[in-house]
């Protein structure tokens, strides 16, 4: 999955797209990165995780937290009857709506396809788009 993610993001950046993320995604990355491998984590040291967050921040635009994200989140979780841990993804969706982001690239296509406010793409979709373009 790592290779597809890197290829998709690299392709978007090379095409001049403004590739963004939100703090929520970096926080969730930190959780996985610092979790033990026995708990499905990467078992990075704090220094390794911090360096990777710094690297991601140097490659992508990190959209700021905004007060209206919570209001958007409440609207989305009610509109789409979001339950349980999917509320975390709904917060990402709310940040996208608040910032006017039109597309998300994610391996969790099924978690985001309910939202009609933006397009949901997989890294494979993005890679296919770039490989099918004429030179």
Annotate 14-36 with DSSP letters as a single string: HTT---EE-HHHHHHHHHHHHS-
Q: Are residues 29 and 71 both part of a single domain? A: no
Q: Are residues 8 and 32 both part of a single domain? A: no
135 lies in some domain: no
Q: Are residues 69 and 124 both part of a single domain? A: yes
Q: What confidence score (pLDDT) does residue 134 get?
A: 61
Whether residue 2 is predicted with pLDDT greater than 90 in this model: the reply is no
| 90, 76 contact by CB (below 8 A) | yes
State the chain's mean pLDDT as an integer: 94
Q: Are residues 125 and 77 both part of a single domain? A: yes
CA gap 32, 39 in Å, rounded: 9
Q: Are residues 73 and 113 both part of a single domain? A: yes
Model-level pTM greater than 0.85? yes
pLDDT tens for each residue of 26-36: 999 999 999 99
CA gap 71, 75 in Å, rounded: 6
Domain that holds residue 80: 1-14+65-130
52 lies in some domain: yes
Q: Total structural domains in the chain?
A: 2
Q: Are residues 53 and 78 both part of a single domain? A: no
Helix axes 23-34, 86-99, angle to 10 degrees: 150
Q: Are residues 110 and 71 both part of a single domain? A: yes
Q: Are residues 6 and 39 both part of a single domain? A: no
């Amino acid at each position: 999955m790592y290779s597809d993610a890197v290829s998709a993001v690299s392709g978007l950046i090379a095409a001049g797209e403004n590739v963004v993320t939100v703090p929520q995604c970096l926080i969730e990355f930190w959780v996985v990165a610092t979790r033990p491998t026995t708990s499905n984590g990467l078992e990075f040291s704090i220094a390794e995780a911090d360096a990777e967050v710094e690297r991601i921040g140097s490659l992508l635009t990190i959209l700021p937290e905004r007060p209206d994200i919570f209001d958007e989140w409440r609207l989305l979780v009610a509109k789409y009857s979001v339950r349980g841990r999917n509320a975390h993804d709904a917060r990402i969706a709310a940040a996208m709506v608040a910032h006017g982001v039109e597309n998300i690239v994610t391996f969790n296509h099924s978690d985001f396809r309910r939202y009609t406010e933006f397009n949901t793409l997989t890294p494979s979709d993005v890679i296919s788009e770039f490989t099918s373009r004429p030179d």
